[in-house]
Chains A and B, each alone.
Chain A
Amino acid sequence: MILFAELVNPNVNISSIAPELMVAIAGIAAMVYDSFFPNQRRVTGVISLMGLAFSAILLGMMWTDGHHASAFNGMIAHDNLRMAFSFVFLFVTAMTILISTVWVDNENVPVGEYHSLLMFATFGMMLMASGNDLVVLFLGLETLSIATYVMAGFRKSDLKSNESAMKYFILGSFASAFLLYGMALIYGATGSTNITEIAAKVADPNFPALLLIGAATLIIGFGFKVATVPFHIWTPDVYEGAPSPVTGFMAAGPKAAAFASFIRVFVLGFPLIAGVQASGYLHETWITVLSIMAILSMTVGNVAAIMQNNIKRMLAYSSIAHAGYALVGFLGAGAASNPVERDAAIASVAFYMLTYAITNLGAFAIITLLGQKNDRRTEFDDYNGIGFKSPMLSFTLSLFMLSLLGIPLTAGFMGKVLVFRPALEAQNALLTVVVVAAVINTAISAYYYLRLVVVMFFKERTTQWLEPKMPVGLAAALLIAVIGVFYFGIFSDSVIEKFSRSTRTVGAVQK
């Protein structure tokens, strides 16, 4: 009877996915416009930016009014995890569009397609944060991935770009397969794809072994998407070959999206349920596995970054290390003893991804500008002694490096403090070790972040230097990034408060 009622009156609640729809509509509009009036580079960009802005407004309204309804039979969540991460995605995409202006002006690439692909990727990312069902998560992930595969290979005539896209595509599909397989196993073990229901069922699964294997394959799949060691091998090649703005986007956006899903499935889907052994075993296992992955990611990422001579590769390894730092906050959320602490920890990961995104995109903006056509100038040697030739650009890039390093008064510092906090709060010996590893790694990372500063300011330039002309869009992106780095570093109060304010849990939303 109930089933029948659901069939005739499906629980469709369009308003609950309005921000996502807005982005998708803007993407379609950009695509359609481009097919009628090709090569109007600015218009598609403006359409996309407007779509993002409206989506942000809708998101803000959902955030403030707080009312929520079950949507799509509990497949869509309405909690701070979704809100905070969605905000990060919108921001990342808007910044990417601004940064791409330079690239779009200098190279003959089909911009309309690029903008619509970006919007579809954003739609996918937002679904990954809002999906409360494994199927929706997978849907979002694939929408995102297919768009990014294409974007990575967008520079058709460039071999490296092609290599990048091909590698990303093959390895990405492989990881998706793992993910899907894990989802199937979880379904087999719990009889549901809904994360709330899975969480209720972990205590008493049909086949405990299936649950564990499912969780393991999920870790492989997500581990690939967030680029943690040992599933990181693809990252440097893909990041190096992809056009710089796309690399910046990939490091900031899809990584954050994968974290959103990863957190939702593991922290909310596989919680520790007091007094139930099965849940305890699963929980302990994934905390241990992720702790090891976090330590490995930070160490391998930072040590390998030291040895790079290409800035994009250096930032690729740095992004692996940053995935490790974000995992620290993730583990803090997983080990939290009550929902309030857990939500604060989730908010801290979202905040961390925001600070990483703003800093990293700022850095990629400058790399894009200096790299010029086909990213020709991306070696450390190309930056020799430009410090006092282009002081503004160099100091700005140094600022981003210091923020990635986590120097106080920058966004990166607040991000680090916030993710280390919950991990220490858990009072768990293993997590304390992870934090100490993170701290030591931060000191290691000083070496290569400073290397760029050293190269720019402490060395002399022997060859000629022509400062590239800066387009307005890129200047705007840089300005936003610089203000953001300081704002989130000094006045982070309001943002943190916003990210952790709607502290409803998914469990309370559904059913």
Chain B
Amino acid sequence: MDFITENLLTILVLLPVFGALALLGHQMFWKQEAQLKWVTLLFTIVNFLISLFLLADKGAASASGFFFEKNIPWIKAINTNYHVGVDGLSLWLVILTTFIMPIAVISTWHAVEKRATAFYIFLLLLESAMIGVFVSLDLLVFYLFFEASLIPMFFLIGIWGGENRIYAAVKFFIFTALGSLLMLAAIISLYYLHAEATGVGTFDFVTLLNTLKLGNLVFSTTAGALLFFAFALAFSIKVPLFPFHTWLPDAHTEAPTAGSVILAAVLLKMGTYGIMRFCFTLFPDQSREFAPLFIILAIIGIIYGALVAMVQPDVKRLVAYSSVAHMGFVILGMFSFTEWGMQGAVYQMLNHGVSTGALFLLVGFIYERRHTRQISDFGGLANVMPIYATIFVITAMSSVGLPFLNGFVGEFLIMLGMWKSTVLSTVSTNWNYVATMLAGTGVIFAAVYLLWMIQRVFFGKVTNDKNRSLKDLSYREIGLIAPLVFLMVFMGVYPRPFLDATEKAVVEIQKRVMHRAGGEVVKTEEEH
């Protein structure tokens, strides 16, 4: 037991890799594919259970505020260490990852027939890379996992995707790779700036942060802006923030269901997580300075995503564009630099993972039955598949932000935070109100496009004869979606445990961003 808690994060990262090796060995020696999904499922569930230790007994945080820290030298020549740890910000994201994986595996139970070994190997490798992203505290190691997560996803889309999969896979790869490579250049530059300031170069996030906090390393205006944008661009592409979002609809539409679920639930969160973890803390001044830009792009994303979603004929593409809008909300909340807004953003990351993940699953269910996702092919499904329709409506409502479901809490906090925010006061007073109201229209639009889609797909008479004989959800499918629906309700009614866990880390980041170098605190919220 001690071994597990001491090396918890390393186990979480490596267990899926061992799972992948086990599958490979299995394939080489037994050449049977039937048991593969069971083996994969076993590994992902065990990983999920192990990740629950993160909640159980944290012990004391280290001086840097991280739990379960591990710091082992990796390449001494360039002073890079295998440094991992979690705090409130990454904690839930790690659990979200391990939680969504078994669901993704079960969702492929009958869907993936061809080349199943490779499919499950890539899924497991992807899990490993995603967890690695959320726990690494060394910039080079972070980059490594960030980039490594691309490869399995590239294969998942490219081999098991839809018609246009090759285009989507390559676009996905090149977009993300370009952003992250610029981040690599920035990471290496940070190493030298640190070396110049203190005599020792480092990739270690905690060390860098301390040097910055102590004021021993101060960026020049240009250097600071360039570095900030190199990081922010990499993450903005991943989020994706308007106008870097074009890869997302393609990737989502073409990816197999499991891929879409993981992409929406976890991969996009790497972007928002990265901005919060690295951009805000390493470049607080630049973050404040350029916040208006990000807020404007976020609002454009919210409204644009919603408008484009409205006219999509394909359900999956509609959900994909709704992701653009939702992630816009997350960015908006983060850049409000208020505790409410940022807490709401972190909460909304989890919400989006749960609701949009569920939406993609639901779309997958119907696609497996009908092999089409065009809205016009459906109509009146509620008569044939009542359970499916009910669950779909609940999920859509959670995505819209109906009170007592999870989406409401996040969006409400974000808008509250934006309303109180002073970030835009540099541009003009009262713009925070305008921004909030514009974002609010996004919520209305979301209701419009989702409800309209639901009306066309589920209600009215059955127009297409092929739909009359559709079977309602099987027990496997209900079992798959039930935990997600439970979470939607639970997180909507009782958000406290989640918000409490993230509070300390978020407040820390918020304080950091609002401190000027001299120690003067910038006023962040208007007096109540």
Which residues of A are in contact with B by a Cβ distance under 8 Å? 387-388, 391, 402, 407-409, 413-414, 417-418, 420-421, 424-425, 427, 435-436, 439-440, 442-443, 446-447, 450-451, 453-454, 457-459, 492-493, 496-497, 500
Contacts and interface: CB of A to CB of B under 8 A. Distances in A.
A435 B169 contact: no
A458 B158 contact: yes
Given A407-B151, A443-B177, A443-B181, A493 B77 contact: yes
B14 to A, nearest CB: 13
A456 B74 CA distance: 34
A388 B115 contact: yes
B517 interface: no
Nearest to B117: A391
B173 interface: yes
Contacts of B151: 402, 407
A439 B192 contact: no
A74 B178 CA distance: 47
Contact of A492 (B75, B155, B185): B75
Given A408-B147, A451-B170, 15 more contacts: A387-B159, A407-B148, A408-B148, A421-B191, A424-B192, A436-B185, A439-B184, A439-B185, A442-B181, A446-B173, A450-B174, A493-B74, A496-B75, A496-B78, A497-B76
A493 B192 contact: no
Contact of B77 (A391, A424, A447, A496): A496
18 contacts: A388-B115, A391-B118, A414-B75, A418-B78, A420-B184, A421-B192, A425-B192, A425-B195, A436-B182, A442-B177, A443-B177, A446-B173, A447-B170, A447-B174, A457-B158, A492-B77, A493-B75, A497-B77
Nearest to B181: A439
Given A388-B115, A408-B143, A458-B169, A417 B188 contact: yes
A380 to B, nearest CB: 13
SS of B interface (majority): helix
A458 B115 CA distance: 12
A1 to B, nearest CB: 48
B456 to A, nearest CB: 33
A492 B196 CA distance: 25
A497 B189 CA distance: 21
Which 5 pairs, one residue from A and one from B, show the smallest C-beta to C-beta distance? A408-B144, A443-B178, A496-B77, A458-B158, A439-B181
A346 to B, nearest CB: 14
B182 A454 contact: no
Contacts of A450: 154, 170, 173-174
Interface in B41-61: none
Interface in B128-157: 140, 143-145, 147-148, 150-151, 154-155
A450 B158 CA distance: 11
A402 B150 CA distance: 11
Contact of B188 (A408, A421, A446): A421
Q: Which of A420, A425, A436, A446 has the most CB of B within 10 A?
A: A446
Contacts of A497: 76-77
A387 B122 CA distance: 15
B138 to A, nearest CB: 12
Contact of A500 (B77, B181, B189): B77
B146 to A, nearest CB: 8
A442 B174 CA distance: 10
A414 B77 CA distance: 11
B246 to A, nearest CB: 16
Interface string B164-186: 01100110011001100110110
Contacts of A453: 154, 158
B182 A439 contact: yes
A263 to B, nearest CB: 19
A451 B188 CA distance: 29
B78 A446 contact: no
A454 B75 contact: no
A421 B154 contact: no
B173 A424 contact: no
B185 A424 contact: yes
Nearest to A416: B184
Contacts of B144: 408-409, 413
Contacts of B185: 420, 424, 435-436, 439
A392 to B, nearest CB: 10
Nearest to A406: B181
A442 B169 CA distance: 17
A427 B195 CA distance: 12
A320 B154 CA distance: 27
Nearest to B178: A443
B7 to A, nearest CB: 18
A413 B151 CA distance: 14
A9 B83 CA distance: 59
Nearest to B192: A425
A420 B185 CA distance: 8
Given A457-B158, A458-B166, A497-B77, A420 B148 contact: no
Contacts of A408: 143-145, 147-148
Contact of B148 (A409, A439, A443, A492): A409
B29 to A, nearest CB: 14
